[in-house]
Amino acid sequence: LGGSGQVLLARVKFESIGEDNVAIDKVTGFLGPHNLGIRVVNASLDVTDFGGVTASTGDVLDTDLWAVPFDLNDDGTINYRDLITFTSYYGTSVIGAESGLAWSLDFDKSGQINYRDLISLVSNYNRSRDNGQQISFPANFPQEWYGTAITTEGNDSLTTLINAATEEWKTATGNPDLTVQVVVTDLGGQQLGEGHILELDENGIPVKGRVYIDDDAAGLGWYSSVEGLAFDSNGQAIAGSAAEGHYDLYTVLLHEIGHAAGFTTSYSAYTNHVETSDSGQVQFVSWDFIVPLTEDGLHIDDSFYPDDIMGATLDPSTRKMISTLDIQVLQAAYNNADGAVFTPLNAPLMASILQTVSTTETAPAVAPAAPVSKPVVAPEQQQVKTATSQSSELQSDTLPSWYLAPALPLSNSSVIVEQSVDQDLLIGSLFDVSYETELSDDLEPEESTLELSFNPEFDLDQVGDSEVADEELDSLFADWSGPLV
């Protein structure tokens, strides 16, 4: 083989079994990727008639496991039971759905559960784990199940930013198991993102979360760099730099991952510390510190700590970082997390995008249907997307109750916004966003009057596969050039 040659000593075939625990989460819709966590350690190699030799291993390829999206009840067979569940969601919008399962049923990731998704399910009808037939996945699987492409100004890729932001929270909180899936999509209107908890470990500490990011920062565009050399010592973009005029993607990722890590009233270990003082100030109370919060308890009060990343406001051209206070809050929650639970909570991440402001105009308030109090949004003047665009289907007033964590409203500090008469006038970048939300119980399928009727002569078994041809497993190893193990 020579000094740099490689040899394939073994290959591993992954196969679904009855108790593989790779199923669709019925509450959040999460179906992957699940990481095997396989590592190669203490590698050794003996050669006949020679003895032990020094062995090295290359990079271990990550293998993601995904639940089969068409097997909705995880019984190993795609059949009429799955079809019945699917039809109960047919015709609904993913963003408007009250169950996270709707996200998994949107197989082509169009934002609507429609006939294209039905065709995907029917093309796999009667296939099962036992008969060994290959599943036909949509052409965008799994890429668009992570998210669509994102355009940024800056030197670092989205993957680099996600990894850096996650590692920063893992190091800060001492929570090495925290993982976050980031989905990029067109959230429409002025929504920038959303973050929520997906899973707690046996100690009640969040270990898995999902963050949604708008593909174009509500029209202003993202700046993407971990180093942040385009910002001065006060976190403001340097004039003429690539960061100027854009929202800082790294800051927004840090903020949303903070919510996924437990900084949210949907997490009981956090909520147990939230109290209201005699003066009416909502605050996070630990034995050795007190942190003033916004009225909804979701963010640190900007009037006390205007530069904190877990505050309720952020301007364009601004970078914020994790503070000692943020770490103290999460560690206090983790110290009493045994038996903790998380529950659905709806609070969208909103942005204000005005490029020119008339002093004679005031901004109309836009109120989501579900929350009681109204988030402030700027006038829809100078919007990048028109009212007739697809983004109109994804407005904040249709956000689902299965969004589990709060979000960071972003504003332009030159805007004067007037809310309805029952709320105070808010000026500048201090946009007070407070929500009262209902916690959902066990989620049921969406109510729908729609019925799908099949012709009695219609044979589901005869439906052709999708245009994507699935390769046989063995063909994946035909030209093996993988690492030495």
Confidence of residue 57 (pLDDT cuts 50, 70, 90): low
Alpha-carbon distance of 188 to 215, in angstroms, equals 9
Check whether 481 has a pLDDT greater than 80.
no
- In degrees, rounded to 5, the angle at the alpha carbon of residue 401 between the alpha carbons of residues 275 and 310 is 45
**Dihedral angle of Cα 395, 166, 163, 165, to the nearest 10 degrees:** 70
Encode pLDDT of 458-469 as tens digits.
444 444 444 333
Confidence of residue 223 (pLDDT cuts 50, 70, 90): very high
Supply the mean pLDDT for the chain. Answer: 71
Candidate ranges 188-192, 251-255, 269-273, 472-476; pick with highest mean pLDDT: 269-273
137-154: buried (b, 16+ CB within 10 Å) or exposed (e) per residue? bbeebeebbbbeebebbb
Residue 271 has pLDDT above 80, yes or no: yes
Q: Nearest-CA neighbor of 272 among 208, 207, 342?
A: 342
- From the list 236, 227, 32, the residue with the least C-alpha distance to 137 is 32
| pLDDT of 424 strictly over 60 | no
14 in a domain, yes or no?
A: no
* Residue 421, in any domain of the structure: yes
pLDDT of residue 422: 33
Reported as a pLDDT band with limits 50, 70 and 90, residue 177 is: very high
The boundaries of the domain holding residue 330 are: 147-427
Answer whether residue 161 shows pLDDT above 70.
yes
For residue 388, is it within any domain? yes
Quick one: pLDDT at residue 1? 52
Under the banding of pLDDT at 50, 70 and 90, the label for residue 225 is very high
Is residue 9, in this structure, part of any structural domain at all? no
Tell me which of 378 and 163 has the higher pLDDT.
163
How much of the chain, in percent, has pLDDT values that exceed 90? 28
Q: Which of 106-110, 153-157, 174-178, 337-341 has the lowest mean pLDDT?
A: 106-110
- What's residue 427's pLDDT? 25
Provide mean pLDDT across the span 149-165. 84
Cα gap 84→300, rounded to integer Å: 45
State the pLDDT at residue 38. Answer: 66
Mean pLDDT value across residues 376-382: 32
Highest mean pLDDT among 173-187, 356-370, 372-386 belongs to: 173-187
Residue 214 has pLDDT above 70, yes or no: yes
pLDDT digits (tens, 9 = 90+) for 283-339: 999 999 999 999 999 999 989 999 999 988 788 999 999 999 999 999 999 999 999
pLDDT on residue 471 = 43
- What confidence score (pLDDT) does residue 59 get? 56
Mean pLDDT (whole number) for 208-232? 88
In a domain, 337, yes or no: yes
433 in a domain, yes or no?
A: no
Average pLDDT over residues 181-195: 76
pLDDT at 160: 87
53 within a domain of the structure (yes/no): no
Domain total in the chain: 1
Which one of 27-41, 290-304, 417-431 scores highest in mean pLDDT?
290-304
* Residue predicted with more confidence, 142 or 115: 115
- Top pLDDT among 369 and 127 is at 127
Q: Which amino acid is at 16?
A: S
CA distance 204 to 243: 38
Average pLDDT over residues 64-75: 82
Rounded (5°) CA angle 385-387-392: 85
Which of 97-111, 224-238, 309-323, 331-345 is least confident? 97-111
Name the pTM for this structure: 0.53
Look at residue 452 and tell me if it is in a domain. no
